Amino acid sequence: MWDSFDEGDSEAECEHSLRYADPNPESAGLLDAVSAMTAITPRVRRVRPIPIRPGSIGNDYWSPGVVLAIFGNMQPQLDLRLLSYFVAVADELHFGRAAARLHIAQPSLSVQIRKLEQNLGAVLLLRSSRHVELTPAGQILLDESRRLLANAERAVNLTREAAHGVSTRKLVIGFQGNAAAELTPHILSTFQSLHPGIQVQMHSYDFSDPYVGLADGSSDVAFVRPPLLMQDWLGMEALFVEPRVMVVSANHPLAQLPEVSVEQVTNEFFVARKAPENWRNYWLATESRQGEPVRVGADVATVDECFEAILAERGVAFSQASTQRFYSRPSLAFVPVTDIPPTALSIAWRTDVASKPVQDFIDTARAVASLHTVPGAWSTRPHNSITEGAHRTTG
């Protein structure tokens, strides 16, 4: 097995490490295996043995000259620290804010990002004095970095738990708003009874992440509301479908009506979700407005922020009908809408991650949804994987 050495090691230390290395070519297989497990160090390309002429390099077969010749074709390594810096800049799209978030100096952050770009041989960010923008390569790296950092953190946590004799496995359930409405406690309690060795953690996400933690790997399975841009890794199945309603202040004239149509509210100011465009437009019912523009009175990130904006009479909003049973307030009114499509509550997961706890949770959710009903909603067919309301990305 190869002994490790750093750039700061002396020539003698390097030679000492390599003198006792295993020259067996099968060692390359070990490197491949470690690379596959960590998903951090790229594979090392095997190279043809270099003939050594006696006396040409020195008496030591494993001299630094031979080491350089053998390892000169090694691909660059990914530094998790640099990836975390890059993610911060990509999130903020501003070096100053990212540096403050990371508690480092801005010039130092700029140097580290340039170092990452040099290591990868790719421009990740387009910079100007007033603007920072991700390149296509940067967007790819951002998506992969989120997943890689989440997996690294999970590996650390699992290792520490194992070291301390903790055998409980964790399953992170992502959700927004009222999750799966009245089904949520039934699903959780049933799953916990069937799988007591798994610790379930519920994690709430704001409107900016319609994938509810699945995209960056921070959740294992999630309750989501389509439409979602379909991804190669995304699996999704509807549990039930329910109507959408108009949420208004109790003082608003619309609150006195038994029902409303989109045509009646096109001139109203709306509270919009801070979310990707397709999801934002869905909750503004742009597909039912006959081309009429939306008047936005406020942008919000959470359900609570939405209702506070409505109470402040900054606008009205569409929501799922079950919201009124979980966020009911005397100052709010929920009015049925006659002419917009209903909304589905789906369970979603990553198809590229094999996990028995995730599959067990999906099976439990299916079974519970077939046995229990949500008031005012209708169940979907059992085992009906859906892509309704989803759009496949291009490019």
Please compute the mean of the pLDDT values over residues 52-58 and round it to a whole number.
Answer: 45
Residues 65 and 126 grouped into a single domain: no
Please compute the mean of the pLDDT values over residues 333-355 and round it to a whole number.
Answer: 94
Tell me what percent of the residues of the chain surpass a pLDDT of 70: 75
CATH label of the domain that carries residue 306: 3.40.190.10
Please compute the mean of the pLDDT values over residues 339-352 and round it to a whole number.
Answer: 95
What's the pLDDT score for residue 151? 80
Lowest mean pLDDT among 25-39, 58-72, 292-306: 25-39
| Mean pLDDT across the chain | 80
Q: From its phi and psi, is residue 217 left (phi > 0), alpha (psi between -120 and 50) or beta?
A: left
Contacts of 34 (CB under 8 A, 6+ apart): 41
Strand order in the sheet with 244-249: 317-320, 244-249, 332-336
What's the pLDDT score for residue 209? 94
Strand, coil or helix: what is 282? helix
Please compute the mean of the pLDDT values over residues 326-347 and round it to a whole number.
Answer: 93
What's the pLDDT score for residue 240? 96
**Is 179 a member of any domain?**
yes
Please compute the mean of the pLDDT values over residues 67-88 and round it to a whole number.
Answer: 71
What's the pLDDT score for residue 14? 40
Dist CA 190 CA 49 (whole Å)? 60
> Of 336, 353, 377, which marks where a domain is finished?
336
Residues 252 and 292 grouped into a single domain: yes
What's the pLDDT score for residue 384? 40
DSSP string, 246-279: EEEETTSGGGGSS-B-HHHHTTSEEEEESS-HHH
Cα–Cα distances in angstroms (integers) from residue 272 to residues 55, 206, 226, 309, 341, in the given order: 76, 13, 17, 10, 18
**Is 4 a member of any domain?**
no
**Is 45 a member of any domain?**
yes
Please compute the mean of the pLDDT values over residues 368-376 and round it to a whole number.
Answer: 92
**Is 84 a member of any domain?**
yes
Domain count, the chain: 4
What's the pLDDT score for residue 165? 63
For residue 66, pLDDT over 70 is answered with: no
At residue 75 the predicted structure's pLDDT band, cuts being 50, 70 and 90, is low
Residues 291 and 325 grouped into a single domain: yes
Contacts of 56 (CB under 8 A, 6+ apart): none
pLDDT digits (tens, 9 = 90+) for 201-231: 999 999 999 999 999 999 999 999 999 988 9
Dist CA 224 CA 227 (whole Å)? 9
Dist CA 154 CA 134 (whole Å)? 27
Residues 144 and 84 grouped into a single domain: yes
What's the pLDDT score for residue 161? 65
Residues 316 and 269 grouped into a single domain: yes
Q: How many residues does the chain have?
A: 395
Residues 235 and 348 grouped into a single domain: yes
> Of 42, 71, 100, which marks where a domain is finished?
71
Q: Which domain holds residue 284?
A: 244-336
What's the pLDDT score for residue 76? 64
For residue 120, pLDDT over 60 is answered with: yes
What's the pLDDT score for residue 150? 79
pLDDT digits (tens, 9 = 90+) for 150-191: 788 777 767 776 776 655 678 999 999 999 999 999 999 999
What's the pLDDT score for residue 329? 83
At residue 68 the predicted structure's pLDDT band, cuts being 50, 70 and 90, is very low
At residue 254 the predicted structure's pLDDT band, cuts being 50, 70 and 90, is very high
Residues 129 and 194 grouped into a single domain: no
> Of 148, 183, 206, which marks where a domain is finished?
148
**Is 2 a member of any domain?**
no
**Distance of alpha carbon 214 from the chain centroid:** 4
Residues 321 and 254 grouped into a single domain: yes
pLDDT digits (tens, 9 = 90+) for 1-38: 344 444 444 444 444 333 334 444 444 443 343 334 33
For residue 80, pLDDT over 60 is answered with: yes
Residues 235 and 376 grouped into a single domain: yes
152 vs 46: which has the higher pLDDT: 152
90 vs 26: which has the higher pLDDT: 90
Please compute the mean of the pLDDT values over residues 279-303 and round it to a whole number.
Answer: 94
**Is 123 a member of any domain?**
yes
CATH label of the domain that carries residue 122: 1.10.10.10
**Is 61 a member of any domain?**
yes
Residues 353 and 381 grouped into a single domain: yes
349 vs 75: which has the higher pLDDT: 349
The answer to whether 21 and 3 have CB atoms below 8 angstroms apart is yes
Residues 182 and 232 grouped into a single domain: yes
Residues 109 and 173 grouped into a single domain: no
At residue 192 the predicted structure's pLDDT band, cuts being 50, 70 and 90, is very high
Residue 123 has φ and ψ, to the nearest 5°, of: -85, 120
**Is 285 a member of any domain?**
yes
End-to-end Cα distance, the chain: 43
* Angle, helices 183-194/356-371, rounded to nearest 10 degrees: 130
Please compute the mean of the pLDDT values over residues 82-101 and round it to a whole number.
Answer: 90
Strand, coil or helix: what is 306? helix
